[in-house]
Structure 1
Amino acid sequence: MTTRSEPGDGSLDPSLRAIMSERRQLINLAYRLLGSLADAEDVVQETYARWYAMSQQQRAAIDSPGAWLTKVASRICLDLLGSARARRESYVGEWIPEPLPDRTEWISVRSGGATVDPADRVTLDESINMAFLVVLEAMTPAERVAFILHDVFRYSFAEVADIVGRTPAACRQLASSARRRLRASQVPATPTAQQADIVRDFKQAWEAKDIDALIGLLDPDATAIGDGGGLVTAQLHPVEGAEQIARNVVEIASNAPDMTILERTVNGQPGLVAQQDGVTVAVFAFNIEGDRIKHIWAVRNPEKLRPWTRT
């Protein structure tokens, strides 16, 4: 199996450096499979734990450590996707993938006070925009794994079959089914600069509490989905229709006069971040079709907002 690694720290032992250089590849893979950076980091930690649980002789007998790590991480993700489906079906309100900031906006503090920069480990491309991840959520675990490994990470179907535990022909069918789901949901992409202008206009109309301007920026059949978690009450149902969304947005602004709205990159695309007292309380991702906003995803679960809060 081929691997795509990055240079390691020259101060590390060569054998350790070779293993640790796979970390970025594994984080990128696991995030796309699970839609959660926190879960992806747990998967990578478990993968390395299994590697070091083997004896030195067992590790030395593995021809391609990178391929072994990828196989193990993918299988852990496949198992997690099965259990995650049950958890997310019982989730109060809508489950939304965890949003990622742009490289320049990352800051995360782990226990022990060490500052890390996850953006150096997650490549921001079209395979992590929110609309793409939401479609992935509708796929079966096997479809998602087969599609991501083959179409995004360019593994052969023979390699995918070894991971998924099915025949190459079956994996080809899984990936084909996943592609059909994606094609059914895709529309011509709006240029990023135009998206940024529309999101900026939405921000300004929101701050001005201009309902008519907000309605003009929204598709008549637009939907807005918000999650929750912890002490944040989940939004039980999507808000549908341009006027209803506009009134809902204005109500939020009226109820939180001290809230600051910032333009930020969310999963590689223009988005907004709401802060109160310097703490991020919501991240908004947008799906824009033509010159109108078709979908809004408002992530409010505090656990998903850890990388967005500067400390």
Structure 2
Amino acid sequence: MDRHDFLAEQFEAHRSHLRAVAYRMLGSLSEADDAVQETWLRLDRADSSGVENMGGWLTTVVGRVCLNMLRSRTSRREDPLDVHVPDPIVSSVDGGDPEQEALLADSVGLALLVVLETLAPAERLSFVLHDMFAVPFEEIAPIVGRTPAAARQLASRARRRVQGTPAPDADLARQREVVDAFLTAARGGDFEALVAVLDPDIVLRTDSGALRPGAVLRGARAVAGGAITFAQIVQLTHPVLVNGAPGAVAIVDGGPVSVAAFTVAHGKVVAMDILADPERVARLDLTFLGD
């Protein structure tokens, strides 16, 4: 086996892990794939003969690539008031896709990714690598150009922000019951039944793409009113899993128009994140809905 084939074999053994790191860093499936590809190119060009821990070396390289990508983002996030919902990972309610399951190991819900989007790039990297993948601060520090103590502080600041994200209920079946109750009430236009399954402080975010302004609704009564307004769309939804949690895809005229992710905590819907950007929805792999 020549050097190239040997490196390719080692890289493939770590690809799913690297994609998981990149997805949490970037919140974009296509950009995560780009970051993984760039990591492979750097490995192929580097003198890796002295690398003892290939997995650790690759993790720090993909982290550096992602950090550069985060810092170079300008066009999509020029307006800080824009609502941006990260790429959802949509799967059948039965699950069963090994690649997606690997990507979602140590489950990362869409609501958590939304919070990660608000972090500064160095904070996000420090938190993701340390708290999600147990990378020591001594290895994170050179990536962000700080001391280990400063990298620890970056992760600590990020952690305080993330701790405000509600932890979903552990029972997936119970989560599904709550979401089904919400959808049934929305289809029937039952305002009080909607309010009953919504947390009083629920936040609903809708990302409609660059050509249409996004929206944020806060509070059970505002979200319930919005659900009734869009009852026709709700009639056309199909149950799915979104990042491992109950969700719904709306299909109109044979094509998907939106993906909704629900966060259920303490038996109530505490957050909804809706991707309704036509271009991004069209890129999602929803072929399983035709099975």
Same fold (TM over 0.5): yes
Over residues 67-91 of structure 1, what are the superposed CA-to-partner deviations in whole Å (9 max), with x where a residue is unaligned?
3332221111111222337732427
Distance 1:188 1:287 in 2: 6
Which residue of the partner structure matches residue 251 of structure 1?
229
* Structure 2 residue matching 1:73: 3-state secondary structure: helix
Distance 2:203 2:181 in 1: 18
In the alignment, structure 1 residue 263 sits paired with structure 2 residue 239: yes
Contact 2:36 2:62 (C-alpha < 8 Å) held by counterparts: yes
Deviation at 1:199, TM superposition (A): 0.3
In the alignment, structure 1 residue 290 sits paired with structure 2 residue 227: no
Which residue of the partner structure matches residue 100 of structure 2?
119
Contact 1:99 1:304 (C-alpha < 8 Å) held by counterparts: no
In the alignment, structure 1 residue 228 sits paired with structure 2 residue 208: yes
Deviation at 1:191, TM superposition (A): 3.5
CA gap of 1:13–1:49, structure 2 versus 1, over 3 A, is closer
Which residue of the partner structure matches residue 212 of structure 1?
192
Which residue of the partner structure matches residue 275 of structure 1?
251
Gaps of 5+ in 1: 1-11, 108-116
Aligned length: 283
Distance 2:140 2:113 in 1: 20
Taking every aligned residue pair, what percent have the same amino acid on both sides? 36
Contact 1:125 1:268 (C-alpha < 8 Å) held by counterparts: no
Deviation at 1:308, TM superposition (A): 3.7
Contact 1:33 1:148 (C-alpha < 8 Å) held by counterparts: yes
Distance 2:278 2:80 in 1: 15
In the alignment, structure 1 residue 307 sits paired with structure 2 residue 284: yes
- Deviates most, 23-32 or 72-81: 72-81
Contact 1:229 1:302 (C-alpha < 8 Å) held by counterparts: yes
Deviation at 1:253, TM superposition (A): 2.6
Which residue of the partner structure matches residue 72 of structure 1?
61
Deviation at 1:118, TM superposition (A): 4.6
TM-score by length of 2: 0.85
Which residue of the partner structure matches residue 140 of structure 2?
160
Distance 1:296 1:79 in 2: 30
Over residues 277-309 of structure 1, what are the superposed CA-to-partner deviations in whole Å (9 max), with x where a residue is unaligned?
332211111223323222211111234332343
Contact 1:124 1:267 (C-alpha < 8 Å) held by counterparts: no
* Structure 2 residue matching 1:95: 3-state secondary structure: coil
CA gap of 1:213–1:160, structure 2 versus 1, over 3 A, is same
Q: How does 1:116-155 map to 2 (within 5 A)?
A: 118-119=99-100, 121-126=102-107, 128-155=108-135
* Structure 1 residue matching 2:59: 3-state secondary structure: helix
* Structure 2 residue matching 1:238: 3-state secondary structure: strand
Contact 1:260 1:275 (C-alpha < 8 Å) held by counterparts: yes
Distance 1:86 1:70 in 2: 27
2:204 is aligned with what amino acid? Answer: A
Gaps of 5+ in 2: none
Deviation at 1:14, TM superposition (A): 4.3
Distance 2:16 2:218 in 1: 38
Which residue of the partner structure matches residue 70 of structure 2?
81
Distance 1:118 1:300 in 2: 25
Which residue of the partner structure matches residue 156 of structure 2?
176
Contact 1:218 1:292 (C-alpha < 8 Å) held by counterparts: yes
* Structure 2 residue matching 1:119: 3-state secondary structure: helix
Contact 1:190 1:288 (C-alpha < 8 Å) held by counterparts: no
CA gap of 1:135–1:173, structure 2 versus 1, over 3 A, is same
CA gap of 1:188–1:69, structure 2 versus 1, over 3 A, is closer
Contact 1:28 1:122 (C-alpha < 8 Å) held by counterparts: yes
Counterpart of 1:16 (choices 8, 11, 16) is 8
CA gap of 1:171–1:213, structure 2 versus 1, over 3 A, is same
